[in-house]
Every structure is written in structure tokens, then in C-alpha cells.
Amino acid sequence: MLAQLLIIVFGVSLLSLITPPVQVNIDTSWHTFSSGYLLAQSQAIRYGIGNEYVSQDGQRVSFNGAGNVPYPRTVHFDHHDIVIELGGGRLVEK
């Protein structure tokens, strides 16, 4: 019984060594955008002055002293869209 279990474990181990690893490319650019956006918005609210956020890919969003955005927009990423709502500048992921 123990020998059979060892053979099965050895077989599974051998298969896991032979099988190539699966590479998953995760798009984290929308996480980075959201984090930077919220930081810039909170700084605009804290200091009461306008602020602008420019993401790594050149997306620009400006805020007034209350943290509001002057116009709504949608920022597109590979697998996500982020909608910036007018007024409070709330982010909605789609």
C-alpha cells in the first residue's frame, strides 16, 4: 500500500517537472492608474488647490480644490475600462 502511494506521488511529481509552467500576464496598469488618481484627488481635497494626475501612459485628469473633475471620461485598458464620473470624480470599473 505504501509502495503504491509512493509510485503515485513519484508519477505526479515527474509529470509536474515535465509539464511547462503556465505564464500568466496580468495587466496591472489599471490598478496603477486608480491608485495614482485617488492619491492626486485626495491631495487636491487636502490642500484645497487644483491638482492634475498624469498616468504612465499619458492619461491626464485634472481636479479642482474640492477634488471634483471638470468633465467625465472613460479610460481604456486591455481588459478593463474605468469611467470617471462628473462631479465627485468617482471611479467605476467596467
Q: Rounded CA gap, 18 and 10, in Å?
A: 12
Residue, of 40 and 19, whose pLDDT is higher: 40
> Containing H/E element for 62?
strand 60-63
- pLDDT at position 14 over 80: yes
For position 53, what pLDDT does the model report?
Answer: 87
Beta strand segments in 31-76, E:
51-54, 60-63, 73-76
pLDDT digits (tens, 9 = 90+) for 22-81: 777 777 777 888 888 889 989 988 898 888 888 877 888 888 888 888 888 888 887 788
Using alpha carbons, select from 38, 29, 32 the residue that is nearest to residue 77: 29
Mean pLDDT of 76-89: 82
Number of H helices, E strands in the chain: 2, 5
* Domain boundaries, given as residue ranges, for the chain: 29-93
